[in-house]
Amino acid sequence: MSAHNEEAPELIEDQFIEGGPTELEAGPDAAGQRLDQWLAGKLGPDMSRSRVQMLIRQGAVSIGGKPVDEVKRRMAAGDRVSVDMPEPEPAEPQGEAIALDVLYEDSELIVINKPAGLVVHPGAGNWTGTLVNALIHHCGDSLSGIGGVRRPGIVHRLDKETSGVMVVAKTDRAHKALSEAFADHGLTGDLRRAYLALVWGIPPRPTGTVDAPLGRAADRVRRAVVPEGRDDARHAITHFTVVERFGEKQQEFATASLVECRLETGRAHQIRVHMAHIGHPVVGDPDYGKAFRTKANRLPEPLRGLVKAFSRQALHARLLEFRHPTTHLSMRFEAPIPGDMEELVDGFRKL
């Protein structure tokens, strides 16, 4: 991790008290503004607009003594607004003593190297043994809960079988800033994410871009490249660079490549779907690389056995860069390829 020596602005102190009412009065400049926009600005950097909207819909906001539940209500000068800040809602999952590989931690956030096989947050079939359970145990009361009771502090995620760097917010202020950075995908800020993927075949060019919208596959579970005009189509762009080529000088065995993928957008399964779309699915991918399973039969031993035994996608989030939400220093974190994936890559290097 590195932090550039930039002057950090003075932190803004909290302007509200959770568990008690906050009284505000709209000035002349508030006239015509939406209630949620105005209130988010008044409550300071700790409150995201999504949380303000939730409070309004829950009846926690009153104007002139009368509760309002319309987030788009237009403000008028002189409006007296009362916000009844609820106590922080405890996360439903329980803390579990699950070991974490912590790369960095302070009062605002924690950065971890997630192992393959660890689910990020509880859900159907995975109510315990998740990263969230581990974080609740590790962070205690400092863990932010504004991401939802089952997703406290989570601002981005990695698939269960994808390893690598993740950042988690520990305060509302950090959650708001990091969520905005990930929503922007680094287009106007300092967020950068890079993944290493071991893929089948060798792309014809050393660098490339996959610009193809993603939507629901026919099974409604997986993702797929879909026509741009479809209702569920979501803009998705992945940039890739070939780092290493394996077996390109021989014709007897199947070839493969180690590629670095950088996300311009952050859709579910984006790298896996995009690489499969261009004919280079991630090795071991059980969802998007099934058609390439027989490629292992065209490999020498012991590599053939390694590939057949590798039951997950060979995908690793190696790099994460972002600006710290309070110090505003540039942060950079890297995680080495896990041992099982490194063993697989070394096997291909011997082709």
Select which of 36, 79, 159, 287 is catalytic.
Answer: 159
- 69 as an active site residue: the answer is no
> How far apart are the C-alpha atoms of 315 and 312, rounded to whole Å?
9
Write the single-letter amino acid at 28. Answer: P
Q: What is the dihedral of CA 338, 339, 344, 346, to 10 degrees?
A: 110
- Could you list the active site residues? 159
